[in-house]
Amino acid sequence: MLHVPSRGWSASALVDAARDLGLSPATSGLLPRGEGDLVEHFMVACNTRCVEELLARKEELMALPLEERVAVALQLRLEMLAPLIDTWPQALAVASRPSNAAHSLRLLYGLVDDVWAALGDDSTDASWYSKRALLAGAYTATSLYMLTDYSPGFRDTWDALRRRVAEGLALDASIARAVRSASSMASAAADDAAHASTSASGTAPPPPPGPAAAEAAAEADAAAAQAAAAEQGATPMGQDAGAAGAGKTDGDVGRATGQV
């Protein structure tokens, strides 16, 4: 990094660095992405230092409100840009090239993930994603603001950083409330649907008989009673007829015998 202030984020800085190490200038060609590898090396070194310092100060940071913790962590990382702030626009241009963009995004994601872990975040719900998006957005926007800040000690940058962090956390809280509300409504709707399905599949009690049904039942009972009475009256009449027939046969036999 010694030659970046004078040479910028360029192949010339890599050549001078190789000479300082007693190597052939041609060795700079071993870096496949050239200046992109130089910018990535700087980002990795800064991210590592930032996380190490956050872990060393974890007890101190955990005593602060969440909003202040996040602001302190991002300020710590952004302060590492100050020595090279004049050449940082060139570094951003190199990092945004198609061959380097994926590497830059990976480093940004790694930074925000490591920072949240160092700050004690252990969320496993949807806020895991929203918190990292918040941190990435605040870091990126503040680093761009920092390029045009000429206030003493970047005072205006740190004020802007705290505003962005406060707004981002407020938005994250609103999203979390909306998700919880939607989840509760979905659960209530599912319970209502299950109750309605159970009621529809159950056996309903039969309705009470109406006047027409009662009248039909009475007529059926009366017809059954008449049939039973008719059956009982048919048996004695049959017996009398049989007895009369038997008496007539005996008389006829007697008369026939007398005549004989």
Quick one: residue 8, left, alpha or beta (phi over 0 = left, psi -120 to 50 = alpha)? left
- Least confident residue range of 135-149, 214-228, 246-260: 246-260
Do 119 and 69 contact (CB within 8 A), yes or no?
A: yes
pLDDT of 211 > 70? The answer is: no
Select from 108, 102, 99, 107 the least CA-distant residue to 34: 99
**139 vs 123, more confident:** 139
Q: Does 211 reside within a domain?
A: no
Residue 72 is assigned to a structural domain of this protein: yes
Rounded-to-integer distance, Cα 113 and Cα 95, Å: 20
**Domain for residue 45, yes or no?**
yes
User: How many Å apart are CA 40 and CA 99, to the nearest integer?
Assistant: 12
Query: For residues 219 and 173, which has the higher predicted lDDT (pLDDT)?
Result: 173
User: Residue 37 corresponds to which tokens in the numbers above?
Assistant: 């590898």
Sign of CA dihedral 48, 51, 57, 58: negative
**pLDDT mean over 34-51:** 96
The two three-digit tokens of residue 14, written as one number = 């890599």
Residue 257 lies in a domain: no
CB atoms inside a 10 Å sphere around CB 31 = 15
pLDDT score recorded for residue 209: 56
Q: Please give the model's pTM, rounded to 2 decimal places.
A: 0.68
Structure tokens at 189: 């709707």
Q: What is the mean pLDDT of the chain?
A: 82
CB 25 within 8 A of CB 19: yes
Mean pLDDT of 192-203: 68
Confidence category of residue 177, pLDDT binned at 50, 70, 90:
confident
**Domain-embedded: residue 16:** no
Number of domains within the chain: 1
pLDDT value at residue 197: 72
The boundaries of the domain holding residue 157 are 31-182
Say if residue 85's pLDDT is above 80: yes
Q: Measure the CA–CA gap between 27 and 18, rounded to whole angstroms.
A: 7
Q: Give the Cα separation of 42 and 34 in Å (integer).
A: 13
- Check residues 174 and 165 and name the one with the higher pLDDT: 165
Per-residue confidence (pLDDT) for residue 207, from 0 to 100: 55
- Higher-confidence residue: 144 or 245? 144
Query: Is residue 154 one of the residues assigned to a domain?
Result: yes
Q: Is residue 14 part of a domain?
A: no
Torsion angles phi and psi, residue 105, rounded to 5: -65, -40
Place of tokens 């969440």: 66
**Whether the Cβ atoms of residue 134 and residue 112 lie closer than 8 Å to each other:** no
Provide the residue type at 172 as one letter: D
Residue 79 is predicted with a pLDDT of 97
Give me 44's structure tokens. 């990795």
Structure-block tokens of residue 113: 């993930």
Residue 193, pLDDT > 90, answer no
Residue 104, in any domain of the structure: yes
